[in-house]
Structures are given as C-alpha cells and as structure tokens.
Amino acid sequence: MQIENRLAEIGVTLPNVPKPVASYLPVVRSGNLLFLSGQLCTVAGELKYQGKVGKEVSLEDACQAAKIAAINSLAVIKQQVGSLDKVKRIVKVVGYVASDPSFSDQPKVINGASDFLVEVFGDKGSHARSAVGVAALPLNVPVEVEMIVEIE
C-alpha cells in the first residue's frame, strides 16, 4: 500500500478503469511486463479536454491531460495486478499529442505524465519515452498515453 499511500498524500484517487472505446484490451500481460493500451483524459467517465494543443487546448491543460491519462493507466495496472506496490519499473511511456501544425512542444506536454510517474514511484518511475505529435486522436482528445510496465 506504499504507492497508494503516496497517491493519497498528493491528493490523487484512482478512478474506475475506463471502458475501452473500441475493440481492444486495456492491458496485456506477457511474463513480467504489462503492455497498457493508450489512456485518455477521462474523469468520472467524461472527457476533461478536447481539441488540438496549441489551438483549442493550452500547454498547461495538455500537461494536465497527460497526467490524467497516467492516473488512468495506474488504475489499469492496479486492476490487473491488485497492488501498485508490485510495479518494479515504469519501462516506457509513449505519448501522442494532437497538435496544431505550429505546435512543437510535445515533450513538455508528456512531461505531465512523466513527472507525475516519478513523483509517485521515485526512481522506479523514470522511464524511456517518446512524445509524438499527431493530426488527430480518438474522440478529439488532445493527449493519449500508453505504457510498458515491469511488475514483480
């Protein structure tokens, strides 16, 4: 319960796992690795942000959207393995940012997820990462985050 206590300390409550919006599984386990499908910025079943970053969505809101997607990812992990204390390492984060063509700060957006993971897990939260600008994302969200996580 150390990680969940840490979440409580920083005021984060894990949501129910969002239902997939298409034909896929939220997570697939292979050995000690969890491959998480992309998570969106849903809060209580509703999209918190919509639109392109650099146009309808500010950099600050996009960072928050990335953090929300990471929180939703933690909910998926907990549902899969029962406790976030079983996380040995966040291995990789891939963040997709629906961007206005003039926007080029995708890495700053995905820092919203990365910084949160390090805040929660410490060194185990440091990870390899890609931050990719895209023309559009499902449901017109500004950010989608997927992860690979090693568990004990």
144 by DSSP, 3-state: which? strand
State the residue range of the domain holding 29: 2-16+25-151
pLDDT above 90 for 19 = no
pLDDT tens for each residue of 71-130: 999 999 999 999 999 999 999 999 999 999 999 999 999 999 999 999 999 999 999 999
How many domains are contained in the chain?
A: 1
For CA atoms 61, 115, 121, 26, the dihedral sign is positive
pLDDT above 90 for 21 = no
Burial classification of residue 73, based on how many CB atoms lie within 10 Å of its CB (0-12 exposed, 13-18 middle, 19 or more buried): buried
CATH number where 92 lies: 3.30.1330.40
Separation of alpha carbons 44 and 101, rounded Å? 31
Question: pTM of the entire structure?
Answer: 0.97
